[in-house]
Amino acid sequence: MMATIASLVAAAEPREPRDLGDLVERLRQIDPAARLQLPPGASASTGAATGPEIRGVTSDSRQAVPGSLFVAVPGFHVDGASFAAQAVESGAGAVMAERPLPELGVPQVVVTDARRSLAEAAAWWYGDPSRSLGVIGVTGTDGKTTTSFLAEAALAAAGLRTGLLGTVATQIGGLRERNAAHATTPEAPWLQAVLRAMVAAGDAAAIIETTSHGLALDRVAAIAYDVAVFTNLTHEHLELHGTFEAYRAAKLRLFEGLAVGAGNAAKPAVAWPRTGIVNADDPSAAFFEGATRAAGAGSITFGRHPDADVRLLDVVDDQGRLLVQYRAQGREQAIRLRLAGRFNAHNALAVVAIGLALELDEAAVRAGLESAAAVPGRMERVEAGQPFAVVIDYAHTPASLGGRPSSEPARATWSCWRARATRRRSSMRTRPSHGTNWAKLGPPSRTWAGAPDPAVDCDRWSLPEPPPKRPRTIASRPARAGAAAAP
C-alpha cells in the first residue's frame, strides 16, 4: 500500500493513554486557575493531580473517539460547549471548557482560555514533537509559500531532510502531497500530529507557513520555533484583526516567541541558534528587528537596503527565470532561479539568510535554490502551444500582482475572487501601479484579443448569479477564538 500523508500521520498517532492530571499540571504553568473537576461521586478531589486516561485531543465533536479529550472552544458565531454533549455521546472521556458543564457527567478541565489550552493539550498529547525538530516559521503577507518551498530545497541540498507544512502542500519524510483544503495554518491538533509524523519519519527540520490567523488564534502557541522569517507586510486580513497595527502585532508574536524560556526551552539535540530573519526593505522591518532583539535572538536582514546583511544588488528576469546577484559576508554571489517574478529575489535571499543563520554550506544552499521548480499557483507558467504567456499566480494583494515578469506585460488579468474578501477585491481594482483602465470582459473566447489591461472577475461572468454576500465580518466580534466545529 502506497504511503500518504494521512497514513503517515495515523501511523504516528500515540497508542498509549495519558493521565489527564498530567495535562492539568502543565496547563497551570500558563493558567494558574486551571483545574480538574470530576463528576459527583468520583473518589478524587477537585484539582487533584490525577485523572482519567486520555486517548486523544480534539476540538471537533465529529472527531471525538472513545477516551478522547474534547476541547470546547468559544467561537465568533457558536460556542464549542454547545457540541460537548455530542462529543461525549461519541465517547469523549473528558471535556475542557471555560466554564463547568455539570450536565455532561464526565471529568472536566476548567480553564481561562480554551483556545490557548487546546494548543498546549495537543502538544502534550503528541509528545511535543517540535522540541525534537529544528523549526522554521515563515510569516508575511506575501511570499510565505514560495519561501517555504525554496527553504526546503536548500535545506535538503545541505543534507537536512525537512518536513513542510503550508498552504499548497504538506511534506513528511520526503513524501509531498498537495493540500486540497488550502488551509495555511490548521488547528493545533493537526499541526502537532503532522510534526509528530515528521519526527517518526526521520525529518530533522520542519518549515511551517505561520499565518497571522495561526498566531492570533493560538494555533501555533505550543510550537517551539528556532528561526522566524518575515517576508513583508501589507494591509491584509483586516476582517480578522480590525487594524493594520493589530495585524502586525499578530505577526510579531512569532518573533517574540523565539525567546528561550519555559514555553520554548533550549533544544540540545537540535542546537540551532534562535534567529529572526527580516526583510530590511519593508516599512515594518524595525518592529520585527526590535522583537528579535527583545527575544534575545540573533538577527539577519536581507533586501536592497544598503545595511542589509544579505544585500540584493541586481535581479534580471529572462523568459521565466531570474538571475539574482547579492552580497553576503563581504562576498558577491549569484543565483539562477527557475522562477518568474522579480519579488522572488527577496524570497530567495531570505533562504540565503537561513543558510547563514544555520551555518549551512553556502554552495549547497545555492544549489538547492537553483534546483527548486516553480511552486504550484505561484507565478506558475502554463505552456500549451499558445502564442502568448500564461502565468497562474495566487496574487491576492496589489503588491504580489505587481511582481509579474517585466518582460511579459499582462494583456489580461483574470482575477477569480469567488472566495476572497471584498476589501481585497477593491484594493486589487484600484492598484495604482497597474493602471486604472479596468474593463469588465465577457468569456475569453470573445474578448481576449486586444484587451488593453483588463481584469476579469470570474464571479461576474462564470456564475449564473452574483455570489452570496459574505457573513458579518469577525472584526466586530470579540477578538478571541475561531468558530467551533459544527455537526
Q: State how many domains the chain has.
A: 3
Give me the pLDDT at residue 446, please.
Answer: 35
pLDDT at 345 over 90: yes
Q: Rounded CA gap, 68 and 57, in Å?
A: 6
Same-domain status, 19 and 32: yes
pLDDT at 353 over 70: yes
> Tens digits of per-residue pLDDT, 377-433?
556 666 677 777 677 666 555 555 555 444 445 545 554 544 444 444 444 444 433
Task: Find the radius of gyration of the CA atoms of the chain.
Answer: 24
Residue 57 region by backbone torsions, left for phi larger than 0, else alpha for psi between -120 and 50, else beta? beta
In a domain, residue 468? The reply is: no
In a domain, residue 477? The reply is: no
In a domain, residue 485? The reply is: no
- Please report which confidence band the pLDDT of residue 51 belongs to, taking 50, 70 and 90 as the band edges: confident
Structural domain that includes position 308: 129-371
Average pLDDT of the residues of the chain: 83
Give me the pLDDT at residue 139, please.
Answer: 97
- Residue 344 CB neighbours (<10 A): 27
Residue 136 region by backbone torsions, left for phi larger than 0, else alpha for psi between -120 and 50, else beta? beta
Domain C-terminal end among 125, 140, 162: 125
Contact yes or no for 122/222 (Cβ under 8 A): yes
> Tens digits of per-residue pLDDT, 174-222?
999 998 766 667 899 999 999 999 999 999 999 999 999 999 999 999 9
Residue length of the chain: 487
Give me the pLDDT at residue 386, please.
Answer: 78
pLDDT at 436 over 60: no
In a domain, residue 282? The reply is: yes
CATH number at residue 44: 3.40.1390.10
Contact yes or no for 51/38 (Cβ under 8 A): yes
Q: What is the dihedral of CA 302, 306, 312, 317, to 10 degrees?
A: 130
Same-domain status, 158 and 114: no
Contact yes or no for 453/410 (Cβ under 8 A): yes
Q: Which three cell numbers stand for residue 47?
A: 484539582
Give me the pLDDT at residue 452, please.
Answer: 38
Q: For 262-300, b where at least 16 C-beta lie within 10 A, e where not — what string? A: eebeebeebebebbbbbbbebebbebbbebbeebebbbb
**Which of 1-5, 243-247, 388-392 is predicted least confidently?**
388-392
Give me the pLDDT at residue 41, please.
Answer: 67
Same-domain status, 246 and 356: yes
- Please report which confidence band the pLDDT of residue 435 belongs to, taking 50, 70 and 90 as the band edges: very low
